[in-house]
Amino acid sequence: MSGKTVHIKSFGCQMNKLDTTLVNSALKDSGFALTDRVKEADVVLINTCSVREHAEQRVISHLGHLQHIKKSRPDIVVGVIGCMAQRLGNKLLQHDAVDIVCGPAQIPQLTKLITQTLKQNQETISVTEKIRKGTDESQALALEDFESAYGTHDKQIPGQAYVRIMRGCDNFCSYCIVPYVRGPEVSRPPEAIIEQIKKLAEAGIKQVTLIGQKANSYKYKSGDKTYCLADLLRTACDIEGIEWIRFVTSYPSEKFFEEILQAMADLPKVCNYLHMPAQSGSDKILRAMNRHYTAAQYLEMLYKARDIVSEIAIAGDFIVGFPGETDNDFEATVDLVKKARYKNCFIFKYSPRHDTIADKRLADDIPLEVKKKRNIDLLAIQEEISGQLSAEYLDKKVKVLVEGLSKKPHLDSAQSNGNPQLIGRTETDYIVVFNGSQSLSGQFAQVKITKTSPLTLFARLM
């Protein structure tokens, strides 16, 4: 629709960010112009996340802000897309600010919904009726076509792109909303994924990150052969122009585990990085979370990963304050974190999600103050470990893929030679800050580490 401008803001995980870039490309293709400024936009889209209460509250407060803007500009169209749109459906449409509600499986139709709303000035909703039954076949085909057509433009960070290998999740961890908003687990056809990576390589992409809620469970049957993640990694490595390949997230499971790690060890292009959330170190809590491993089994897998890939960096996720988590359970988590020696950890306070098994069966009985304290304590323990691990990089020469300008001023500007401060990442996912020309964005650079902190390495260009 020529002449109309769209602003889109993403609140969620990599899945959501990828959906945002797909939607952006489709809208541009239909003649919409994109803008970074809400004030200039005819259409404002919010791509939402339901994983914790806090994520939803941020969206609600943003909608409040948009409602205010709408008082002076009543013709502005506001669309809510993503996981919250699927979860709340009509309830969201009742919000004064909202004109369009569109679920994650309906994004191929979003351009049409927006055009209709702009023309006819009426509210519209499109979500999956019975999400656990999955999308119908025509919808599934439309999603796959949409992904193949627009999944080749992703350049949020210069030189890098996400490629979805799986949709949905069937794991039903008892606390988690994802299976109820993203639907059943579906692995995409390997040919479609590889074709997409080839196109990205032709467009100058150097690093692809394969994404799925359980990327390591990727499984696609075609004729007599069943493809797993290791097969995808091997084929992707043959694509000229692609230099680094990552995948997230890994669910701790023995299935395919050694094969994938062996591929990581054998293939230089596969980054030595594993994001494998443990969630808790207490077997009692792991059982209540419906995670299918014990702390000992988890550690065994982690040690095996270090054995097979000697330079591997491992990141984890934990939930503190899950129902029934005693001091002893929390101590077991602390113990696991100390043994695992993660590069970094994402730590979350348990947030009950409507409709999940944990919410239906277990009372949210850990006081907020206790959740907060456990969160702070665990972060402090992890920070010490992160500090020790990053200190090992001091004086080392490393290769980084440059992302662009660093927002926080870290470095002494007297030593910058007039160059701005850049941010890059190592193969092992360490953030490195150094002074250099902005033209390096999207390129690889060799740097020498001059100073370290728990989460950031500082360096100079070599």
Residues that bind ligand SAH (CB under 6 A): 51-52, 175-176, 178, 213, 249, 251, 277, 279, 317, 319, 348, 350-351, 353
- Residue 391, SS3 per DSSP: helix
Rounded-to-integer distance, Cα 390 and Cα 383, Å: 10
Residue-level length of the chain: 462
Q: Which does 181 bind (CB under 5 to 8 A by kind): ligand SAH, ligand F3S, ligand SF4, none?
A: ligand F3S
Kindly tell me which of 249 and 272 has the beta carbon lying closer to ligand F3S.
249
DSSP 134-189: ---HHHHHHHHHHHHHHTT---SSTTEEEEE-EES-----TT--HHHHH-S-EEPP
Size of the site for ligand F3S (CB under 6 A): 13
When CB distances to ligand F3S are compared, the closest residue is 12
Neighbouring-strand partners of residue 160: 207
366 in Cβ contact with 350 (< 8 Å): yes
Using CB under 6 A, which residues numbered 70 to 89 contact ligand F3S?
82-83
Residue 172 site contact among ligand SF4, ligand SAH, ligand F3S, none (CB < 5 to 8 Å, cut-off depends on kind): ligand SF4
* 8, 22, 51, 423: residue in contact with ligand F3S (rule CB under 6 A): 51
The burial class, CB within 10 Å (0-12 / 13-18 / 19+), for 287 is middle
| Site residues for ligand SF4 per CB under 6 A | 169, 171-173, 176, 178-179, 213-214, 251
Q: What is the rounded distance in angstroms from the CA atom of residue 128 to the CA atom of residue 33?
A: 28
Q: Which is closer to ligand SF4, CB of 85 or CB of 431?
A: 85
Nearer to ligand F3S, 169 or 398 (CB): 169
Query: Of ligand F3S, ligand SF4, ligand SAH, none, which one does residue 179 interact with (CB within 5 to 8 Å by kind)?
Result: ligand SF4
The DSSP code sequence of 307-336 is HHSTT-EEEEEEEES-TT--HHHHHHHHHH
3 state DSSP class of 211: strand
| Residue of 62, 182, 246, 349 interacting with ligand F3S (CB under 6 A) | 182
* Inter-residue contact 357 to 176 (CB < 8 Å): no
- Contact (CB, 8 A) for 142 and 111: no
Region near ligand F3S per CB under 6 A, out of 13-21, 33-41, 204-212, 289-297: 13-21
Is residue 177 a contact residue for ligand F3S (CB under 6 A)?
yes
Alpha-carbon distance of 453 to 370, in angstroms, equals 28
Q: Which of 128, 60, 70 is nearest to 99 (CA)?
A: 70
Taking the complex as a whole, how short is the minimal distance between the CB of residue 178 and ligand SAH, in angstroms? Answer: 6
From CA 169, how far away is CA 147, in angstroms rounded? 18
12 binds, among ligand F3S, ligand SAH, ligand SF4, none (CB under 5 to 8 A by kind): ligand F3S
**Residue 411 found at the interface with ligand F3S (CB under 6 A):** no
Q: Minimum distance between the CB of residue 426 and ligand F3S, rounded to whole angstroms?
A: 25
Distance CA 406, CA 421 (A): 6
Contact pick of 6, 13, 200, 345 for ligand F3S (by CB under 6 A): 13
Shortest Cβ 168–ligand F3S spacing (Å): 9
Q: How far is the CB of 133 from ligand SAH (least distance, A)?
A: 21
| Tokens (6 digits) for 75 | 């013709």
Closer to ligand F3S by Cβ: residue 83 or 113? 83
> Which residues sit at the interface with ligand F3S, rule CB under 6 A?
12-13, 15-16, 49-51, 82-83, 177-178, 181-182
